[in-house]
């Protein structure tokens, strides 16, 4: 069991092997960022390095050779990767969240999907997808988008509404449609390259489709449903929602930290055009850096602290309370918002320097703004938090 003792938390976390391995990759990822963008996917040498460091297996069960780390360790590692390249970190976060599916598969199927050290599962959104019940399995049809990391994935997942043989939608006890996740080899899908985007260009988040594809029962799961969970470790008391919320916030914080550090280095040397002093002598810049640094430190410590408190709660109680689930949502959304403000400050105060691809600002500015466009970063999540704090009944969709 990967326990981060409450008394040791922040100071001891940095010594974790997974975090050290991630930190060791930051420089290489930063140097490779132009190649990652140009390829619109992770190049083979970068994939080799990330696989060798175990970056796609941090949330995989130990029974399958995974690291099964505590969530705060995972988030801290992803911050280091994001400081090097946001697309690599995003793919790591997405693929790791998908790997949580292993906890809901029977061991033979889980071994089949994740048994090779380079196996990666990716999935995306497909609200119109349907699966029709058949003998020993299902006939799956659908199209899914935003499948980050799908170009280096070996398996894909399709979330789809489960239907009876006659096409009637199956429903859960509370009346909701029965949505399940269906896993199949990437080679079984038709892939469409649609990834011409502003930021996170290296994620290769393509669209994929299957038509009437047979999926055996062994490769069908109800993710995040405790009744179907087969792994007993405390990590799997968290849901994919919790890991995505914290991981993608970690991506934002990693981008922001690298951007602000680059601006501080620039401010020490640059004298703006027609100015008589350097940026470092400007009181507005001095105060802005002080505030931005404080906000990033506070957001980072808050996010990691909430995840460590959640881990301690799971160890003690075996489950996450609603209080803690709301706190994870709040911390993740807040961290992303704070990261955006820090990057905005650094980008705009860097002046014309920031618009050149050769300098370390414009790519990170684009990447951060792409991060803030995705569902985990929606400012509307604060409404859910506020409803809960006011004693109302919040929607549980993103908790």
Q: Which residues pair with 255 in a beta bridge?
A: none
Q: Residue 399's pLDDT is what?
A: 80
105-144 in b/e form (b: 16+ CB < 10 A) is: beeebbbbbbeeeebbbbbbebeebbbbbeeebbbbbbbb
Express each pLDDT in 132-158 by its tens digit. 999 999 999 999 999 999 999 999 999
Q: Measure the CA–CA gap between 204 and 200, rounded to whole angstroms.
A: 8
pLDDT at 15 over 90: no
Give start and end residues of each alpha helix (H) in the chain.
9-13, 17-39, 44-52, 71-84, 86-99, 107-114, 240-267, 283-317, 322-349, 362-371, 381-389
pLDDT at 388 over 90: no
CA distances from 3 to 9, 13, 234, 311, 318 (A): 10, 10, 9, 8, 14
Contact 368, 255 (CB under 8 A): yes
Q: Is 145 helix (H, G, I), strand (E, B) or coil?
A: strand
Express each pLDDT in 95-131 by its tens digit. 999 999 999 999 999 999 999 999 999 999 888 999 9
Q: Where are the domains of the chain?
A: 6-114, 121-226, 238-389
pLDDT at 23 over 80: yes
Tokens of 368: 């951060």
pLDDT at 35 over 80: yes
CATH topology identical between 6-114 and 121-226: no
- Let me know if domain 121-226 sits in CATH 3.10.20.30: no
**Mean pLDDT, the chain, integer:** 92
Among residues 15, 11, 139, 116, which one has the least CA distance to residue 66? 116
Q: Would you place residue 276 in the very low, low, confident or very high pLDDT band (cuts 50, 70, 90)? A: low
Instruction: Give the distance between the most distant pair of CA atoms in the chain.
Output: 79
Q: Is 138 helix (H, G, I), strand (E, B) or coil?
A: strand
Q: Would you place residue 394 in the very low, low, confident or very high pLDDT band (cuts 50, 70, 90)? A: confident
| 0.85 exceeded by pTM | yes
Q: Residue 267's pLDDT is what?
A: 87
- CATH number, domain 238-389: 1.20.140.10
Render 200-227 in DSSP notation, one character per residue.
-GGG--EEEEEEEEEEEGGGEE-TT-GG
Contact 253, 343 (CB under 8 A): no
Site of tokens 């099964």: 68
- Let me know if domain 6-114 sits in CATH 1.10.540.10: yes
Of 79-83, 101-105, 233-237, 269-273, the range with the lowest mean pLDDT is: 269-273
Q: What is the mean pLDDT of residues 49-61?
A: 97
Express each pLDDT in 167-218 by its tens digit. 999 999 888 899 999 999 999 999 999 999 999 999 999 999 999 999 999 9
């Amino acid at each position: 069991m990967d326990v981060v003792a409450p008394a040791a938390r922040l100071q001891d976390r940095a010594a974790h092997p997974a975090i050290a391995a991630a930190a060791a990759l930051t420089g290489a990822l930063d140097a490779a960022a132009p190649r990652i963008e140009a390829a619109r996917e992770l190049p083979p040498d970068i994939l080799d390095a990330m696989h060798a460091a175990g970056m796609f297996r941090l949330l995989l069960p130990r029974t399958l050779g995974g690291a099964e780390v505590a969530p705060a360790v995972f988030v801290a590692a992803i911050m280091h990767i994001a400081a090097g390249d946001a697309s690599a970190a995003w793919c790591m976060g997405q693929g790791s969240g998908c790997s949580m599916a292993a906890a809901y598969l029977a061991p033979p199927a889980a071994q089949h999907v994740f048994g090779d050290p380079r196996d990666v599962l990716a999935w995306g959104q497909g609200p119109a997808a349907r699966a029709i019940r058949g003998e020993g399995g299902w006939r799956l049809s659908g199209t899914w988008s935003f499948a980050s990391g799908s170009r280096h994935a070996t398996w894909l997942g399709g979330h789809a509404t489960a239907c009876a043989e006659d096409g009637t939608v199956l429903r859960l006890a509370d009346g909701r449609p029965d949505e399940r996740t269906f896993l199949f080899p990437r080679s079984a899908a038709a892939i469409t390259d649609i990834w011409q985007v502003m930021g996170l260009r290296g994620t290769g988040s393509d669209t994929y489709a299957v038509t009437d594809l047979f999926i055996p029962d062994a490769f069908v799961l109800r993710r995040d449903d405790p009744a179907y969970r087969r792994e007993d470790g405390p990590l799997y008391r968290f849901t994919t929602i919790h890991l995505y919320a914290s991981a993608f916030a970690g991506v934002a914080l990693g981008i922001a930290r690298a951007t602000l550090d680059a601006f501080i280095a620039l401010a020490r040397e640059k004298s703006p055009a027609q100015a008589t002093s350097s940026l470092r002598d400007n009181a507005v810049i001095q105060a802005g850096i002080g505030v931005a640094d404080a906000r990033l430190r506070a957001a980072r410590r808050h996010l990691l602290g909430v995840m460590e408190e959640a881990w301690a709660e799971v160890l003690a109680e075996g489950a996450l309370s609603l209080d803690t689930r709301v706190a994870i949502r709040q911390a993740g959304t807040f961290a992303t918002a704070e990261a955006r403000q820090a990057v905005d400050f650094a980008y705009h105060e860097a002046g014309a320097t920031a618009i050149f691809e050769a300098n370390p600002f414009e790519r990170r500015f684009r990447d951060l703004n792409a991060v803030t466009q995705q569902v985990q970063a929606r400012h509307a999540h604060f409404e859910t938090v506020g409803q809960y704090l006011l004693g109302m009944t919040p929607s549980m969709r993103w908790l």
